[in-house]
Amino acid sequence: MECLAGRVGLFFVVDERVILYACPLSRAGSYGDCLNYPHSHDDIWQAKQRAQHRVDFDYYPRGRIVYDRVNDLYTIYHDRCCRKAAQMIGSHYAPAKVAYSLDEHYQCSKCNPAYCE
């Protein structure tokens, strides 16, 4: 994986493989003081992964990389099942510019007690 500085994105962890979609900050969407990947997990999954994996986008662990313009900090929001993947992604940024945050919004089928197949 290449250096990710200057990029935001989202990712899935499918069978221990990281599937990352990222874009430069110049193409990111604004969300308050943050820059965010302009597409949702669901949209990307439907367009690029659904046919191959045949489950909904929220079945696998996933996360998102957001850039805080005010604090010059990337935050990687992730499911608890993909902490190692989040840290691996974070290693492609300057260490002092990365924070990690568990976020229940990104719960996979194993972590979400209300998940229905």
Task: Express each pLDDT in 22-78 by its tens digit.
Answer: 999 999 999 999 999 999 999 999 999 988 899 999 999 999 999 999 999 999 999
Q: Is residue 2 in some structural domain?
A: no
Q: How many domains does the structure of the chain reveal?
A: 1
Q: pLDDT averaged over the chain?
A: 93
Judge whether 113 lies within some domain: no
Structure tokens belonging to residue 44: 């990307």
Is position 31 within any domain? yes
pTM score, whole prediction? 0.93
Is residue 77, in this structure, part of any structural domain at all? yes
Inside any domain, residue 46:
yes
- For residue 20, being part of any structural domain is answered with yes
**98 inside domain:** yes
Q: For residue 65, is it within any domain?
A: yes
In whole angstroms, what is the distance from residue 110 CA to residue 88 CA?
21
Residue length of the chain: 117
Name the helix (H) or strand (E) containing 67.
strand 62-68
* Residue-number span of the structural domain to which 62 is assigned: 7-106
- For 59, phi then psi, to 5°, come to -70, -45
Q: Which two tokens stand for residue 116?
A: 């229905």
